[in-house]
Structure 1
Amino acid sequence: MTVKNYFPAGENASFDAGGGLTRKVAAFNDNLMCVEVHFETGTTAPLHHHPHEQITYVISGRFEFTVGERTYEVGPGDSLYKQPDIVHGATCLEAGTLLDLFTPHREDFL
Structure 2
Amino acid sequence: MGLIPADELISYDMDLTRKEGEESKALAKFIHGTAFTMTFWTFKTGAVIPEHQHEHETLTTVLSGSLRLVVDGETMILRAGDSGLVPSWAIHEAEVLEASEVIDVYTPVREDYVARQTGKFETYLATSQDRT
Name the TM-score, length of structure 1 as normaliser: 0.90
Query: In the alignment, which of 82, 90, 95 is matched to residue 94 of structure 2?
Result: 90
Mapped pair 1:72 → 2:80: no
Structure 1: distance between partners of 2:14 and 2:107: 21
Any runs of at least 4 consecutive aligned residues in structure 1 with deviations exceeding 2 A, and if so which?
A: none
Structure 1: distance between partners of 2:3 and 2:91: 33
State the percentage of identical aligned residues. Answer: 32
The number of residues matched between the two structures is 106
1:64 alignment partner AA: R
Match of 1:8 in 2: 5
Tell me the CA shift for residue 30 of structure 1. Answer: 1.9
Give the CA RMSD over aligned residues: 1.1
Tell me the CA shift for residue 12 of structure 1. Answer: 2.1
2:7 alignment partner AA: G
Q: Higher strand proportion, which one? A: 1
Match of 1:23 in 2: 28
Larger CA Rg, structure 1 vs 2: 2
Which residues of structure 1 form unaligned runs of 5+? Answer: none
Match of 2:106 in 1: 102
Bigger relative contact order (CA 8 A; separation at least 6): 1
Tell me the CA shift for residue 8 of structure 1. Answer: 1.5
